[in-house]
Amino acid sequence: MLALDLETTGFDPRAAEVLAIGTVPIIDGAIRVGAATSTLVRPEGRSAVEGIVAHHLRPSDVADAPRLVEVLPDLLDVIEEVDALLVHNAGLDVNVLRRACASLELRWPRPPVIDTIDLINRIRKRERATGHGRRLPRNLSGARQAFGLPPHQAHDAVSDAIATAELYLALQSRLTR
């Protein structure tokens, strides 16, 4: 499984540009932090400055970064080889990648996608039906806190990918009880 996080210029998957990509593999239930990858991506659009600042980056941080067309083929090759792609908020990250593939005329590999938000919703539904538990937050930091996971450096692609992987393992534990 590959946990993936994108930092983007906004929250609209129809317009957001990729600023950073972070990945970390999960193999046999273990997060392989040593195999994590991270890359900044130089955005193409003029509206990117606000997104850059929101992620605690400076325009100079991405000025010499590779463009998405340079890094996306390698990422797609990795995605092609995994059993599942793990994300927190597939509605944004996966849709941004699909749109990028279409615009660059690359084939989206169509991996099975596991979204931690979907898992949170399953837990919320189950706990609502049984009358147990408190409302589990859907945001990454809040959900992690609810599971007693340590704070992480938000708005950093590789940190968010690792945080998503850790949350996934905690969610899986709750779902299998």
- Give residue 48's pLDDT: 62
Domain that residue 127 falls in? 116-175
Let me know whether 91 and 135 are in one domain.
no
Do 9 and 96 belong together in one domain? yes
Query: Taking CA 86 as the corner, what is the angle to CA 12 and CA 124, rounded to the nearest 5 degrees?
Result: 80
Give CA separation, 81 vs 57, 78, 97, 136, in Å. 31, 5, 16, 32
For the residues 153-176, what does the mean pLDDT come to?
93
Classify residue 135 by its DSSP letter: P
Instruction: Out of 114, 137, 155, pick the residue that ends a domain.
Output: 114
> What confidence tens digit (pLDDT) does each residue in 87-126 have?
999 999 999 999 999 999 999 999 999 999 999 999 998 8
User: Which pLDDT value is given to residue 47?
Assistant: 57
Q: Both 30 and 43 in a single domain?
A: yes
Q: Are residues 71 and 128 in the same domain?
A: no
CATH at residue 18: 3.30.420.10
For 5-28, how does the pLDDT look when each residue is reduced to its tens digit (9 = 90+)? 999 988 899 989 999 999 999 999
